Amino acid sequence: MLTRRLLLVLVCCCLGGIGFHAGMPAQEVAAKAGPAGVDGDDEFVLVVMDPLAAPLACDCVKGYAQRKYEVLGTFLSTKLGRPVKVYWAGALKSALKESGGRADLIIGKYSVVRHDTAAEARNFAPIASLTGRDGSTTQSGLIVVRAKDRAKKVADLAGYRIFFGTPDAEEKSAAVISLLRKSGIEVAAEPETCEACSTAATNLMELEEGEDGAAVISSYARPLLEGCGTIQKGDLRVIGESEPVPFVTAFISLELSEDTRQQVAQALLALATEKELLDALETRNGFVPTGSQETPAGGAGTEAPAAAAAAKKKN
């Protein structure tokens, strides 16, 4: 059983999203990317870090986690009037190695993109959020225990061994830690972490009988854990859910001109009227403005008005 689960974890690397598909190029409409910060009519580089993108996920659940961003690349090319090249990666560092250091637009988990752009000292700002099939732009962290565990609520987890996500995954780290503390549960200064939801779930299932344990998984990953066979239906039970946090978000490079940033934001918002693209990206309403003015990831003190301006212009 252990061997089978480990194999499934490796096969379903979609739940970890680090390194397995770094920089996988597709929908190549032009030559090799140029240096960072180049604007104008040259190639535009889109980096996809969305854990529900097809190359970063598995096809275990029909119609789920198979977003086809190469279709978005073609759409953006027509809207921007310039070639677009798409790279897929679980981490920005990996994508930059493949793209020659170039990234103009990054689409991925909000907290992960902010973490990675800061680590790479890149100035990016959020301009639009991708809606799910339910129209939501958020996700949450789920605290799960084994089906027969005595815990019924978060407050019952005192003394439990808890497998958290890494700090860059806000829904599996800060958001859930806040929930635990509000429920009176102490959290270690350095919690035990797992890169992938599948690893956390597997570690929990493999605890010795009688050992109290819980795991934290992303809400979007729950269908994949069962669909991929990492766990069986009914193995785990949810006893707590964090406050919602932003999910898949588009970040634009602040090295691009303001006109280009607004052009990209407007193109993303125009996706809402393209049914085939909505289906390809498994989204109900396409991209919507973030509606926020905040410090750009990796930078300081710069607002992100592009999506708001584009939305106003569109209306």
Residue 292: phi and psi, rounded to 5, are: -120, 150
The reported pTM is 0.84
Instruction: Give the pLDDT band (50/70/90) at residue 310.
Output: low
Find the helix or strand (DSSP H, E) in which 45 lies. Answer: strand 44-49
Residue 254 has pLDDT above 90, yes or no: yes
Is 120 in contact with 106 (CB distance < 8 Å)?
A: no
pLDDT of residue 31: 29
Residue 49 has pLDDT above 50, yes or no: yes
Domains and CATH numbers, the chain: 2-136+247-314 (3.40.190.10), 139-245 (3.40.190.10)
Q: What residues does 287 pair with on adjacent strands?
A: 130
124-163 pLDDT, tens digit per residue, is 999 999 999 999 999 999 999 999 999 999 999 999 999 9
Lowest-confidence range among 8-22, 32-46, 269-283, 290-304? 8-22
pLDDT of residue 314: 52
Residue 187 has pLDDT above 60, yes or no: yes
pLDDT of residue 228: 87
**Residues 6 or more apart in contact with residue 292 via CB below 8 angstroms:** 126, 304
pLDDT of residue 29: 31
Average pLDDT over residues 10-20: 38
Average pLDDT of the chain is: 85
Residue 196 has pLDDT above 50, yes or no: yes
Is 73 in contact with 13 (CB distance < 8 Å)?
A: no
86-113 pLDDT, tens digit per residue, is 999 999 999 999 999 999 999 999 999 9
What would the two tokens of residue 297 be? 């990831």
Interhelix angle 306-314/258-270, rounded to 10 degrees, is 60
> Quick one: what percent of the chain has pLDDT higher than 90?
76
| 84-88 and 24-26 beta bridge pairing | antiparallel
237-250 pLDDT, tens digit per residue, is 999 999 999 999 99
DSSP for 30-43 reads SSS---TT--SSS-
Lowest-confidence range among 86-90, 110-114, 221-225, 303-307? 303-307
Residue 311 has pLDDT above 60, yes or no: no
Lowest-confidence range among 38-42, 258-262, 280-284? 38-42
